[in-house]
Structure 1
Amino acid sequence: MSAGTVYGVGLGPGDPDLLSVRADRLVRGAKHVAFFRKAGRAGQARQIVNGMLADSAIEFPMEYPVTTEIPLSDPRYNEVLSNFYADCTDHVRDLAEAGEDVIVLCEGDPFFYGSFMHLYTRLKPHVPVEVVPAITGMSGAWTATGAPITWGDDILTVLMGTLDEDTLAARMKDADALVVMKIGRNIDKVCRALHAAGKYEDAYLIEYATMPNQQVQKLCEAEGKITPYFSIIVVHGQGRRP
């Protein structure tokens, strides 16, 4: 029996209209559909494809055992997540080795800070794996501001809000154009770093980019606001132009 293929399908920033033609076709024709989600939640990737899956599709929610309950610096964090990804891989691999294709839904692009990468590296030596690229969440965010993120020779820096404050501030200071992801409870630290880098007043906060509940505002006007995890901060470059 030939092995099935595992497809890591990028869904883009959130608007189903922004799926690629190939992603749309794979999602609608899927027999086995896997997706990550926080326990007790529907899952952002799953919500993007609401109404697209066949009634007969068999769903496999992969629920994170931890998100913020254990600090990133705690050795247990990697241990718990590593075991989780191994278990998910075993399930998906069993399906593929039985000849079944499996669609793994991925927010944004699968190879851009996505959880699918942890399955990919474990599956690749054993079964066929294909990746369907997509529009990134940050692209949807800066487009929502109505202004280009880079001009001319601008250097774009992408940072995670989970980094320590000193590292954030140093990298921000050197950036021409800036994207900060994984905001959520890191918002106060990110704001302090932006202040230290002299970029706070130029920063925009984009929540749920391209989704029905999208919000775009200057970061300085959102002072004290509780931001969702699916928030992105951008600072536009002002580089060379004709």
Structure 2
Amino acid sequence: MGPSHGKVICVGLGPGDPELMSVRADRLVRSAAHVAYFRKAGRAGQARQIVDGMLAPGANEYPMEYPVTTEIHFSDPEYNRQLAEFYEDWAQRLAELAGTGTVLVLCEGDPFFYGSFMHLHSRLQGRAEVEVVPGITGMSGCWTATGIPITWGDDVLTVLMATLSEDELEARSREADALVFMKIGRNLPKLRRALAKSGRLGAAWLIERGTMPGQRVQRLVEADEVTPYFSIVVVHGQGRRP
């Protein structure tokens, strides 16, 4: 099947505050006739919440609900099979919709930085014209919330998933300058232990709901209750400066 006449545009909405969207993203959101967005079953969806009150009257909405995979470990082939089927189904539906005009896909942060849209992007090739509008990353919003520059001079910034093993987190934390840890979730106790062993725990900051209502910024050693889904941990670099 060749490319259709329509276009699928994925807009990065930034870290959460609607005022941190780009001018282009704002314009596209307000004028879109077809709007799709990812969400977990039973949830409003973070991307949809960011644009609340901005969509054009009569805009058609297409919530793309992830399959419920909580009981399947991500290393299980069944987990990948269900997700692949989900992405394939939506790529096909979006390509068909694009035949009637432009379809906007909402994505928090930046679509090409750990965004779910990249799985649709690869599957849409040859089916529809695709455009991506970059956005400010969630981590940019979070390190800015600390009021401290994340990198100086020749600092190397390392971005790690807290889903890595404790040993891997410790080793990479020990050798890095500036650090960002994403996908905190249930991995926070493990991350604390790894940072303590690498000697970086005292310099670590926990940012919850960065740039959004309810934002909380605190040193990780002082943190107790945590909102796991909207949390990022950062360790600032201390590199060369004039």
| TM-score (norm. length: structure 1) | 0.96
- RMSD across aligned positions (CA): 1.3
Q: Which amino acid aligns with 1:21?
A: V
SS for the counterpart of 1:131 is strand
- Whether the 8 Å CA contact 2:4–2:128 is kept in 1: the answer is no
CA distance in 1, matches of 2:184, 2:39: 18
SS for the counterpart of 2:140 is helix
- Equivalent residue number for residue 145 of structure 1: 146
**Structure 1 residue 99: Cα displacement:** 2.7
- Equivalent residue number for residue 110 of structure 1: 111
**Structure 1 residue 2: Cα displacement:** 5.8
Q: Could you tell me which of 7, 10, 14 is aligned with 2:9? A: 7
**Structure 1 residue 124: Cα displacement:** 2.0
SS for the counterpart of 1:23 is helix
Matches within 5 A, 1:123-202: 123-202=124-203
CA distance in 1, matches of 2:221, 2:69: 28
- Equivalent residue number for residue 227 of structure 1: 227
- Equivalent residue number for residue 240 of structure 2: 240
CA distance in 2, matches of 1:124, 1:52: 29
- Whether the 8 Å CA contact 2:208–2:226 is kept in 1: the answer is no
Kindly report structure 1 stretches of 4+ aligned residues shifted beyond 4 Å. Answer: none
Structure 2: give runs of 5+ residues left out of the alignment.
none
Q: Which amino acid aligns with 2:226?
A: I
Q: In the superposition, relative to structure 1, how do residues 37 and 2 fare at CA in structure 2: closer, same or farther (>3 Å)?
A: closer
- Equivalent residue number for residue 31 of structure 2: 29
CA distance in 1, matches of 2:231, 2:141: 11
| TM-score (norm. length: structure 2) | 0.96
CA distance in 1, matches of 2:39, 2:163: 19
Pairing 1:121–2:96 present? no
Q: Which amino acid aligns with 2:141?
A: G
Structure 1: give runs of 5+ residues left out of the alignment.
none
SS for the counterpart of 1:141 is helix
Aligned identity (percent) is 68
SS for the counterpart of 2:39 is strand
- Equivalent residue number for residue 79 of structure 1: 81
Moved more, 191-200 or 129-138: 191-200
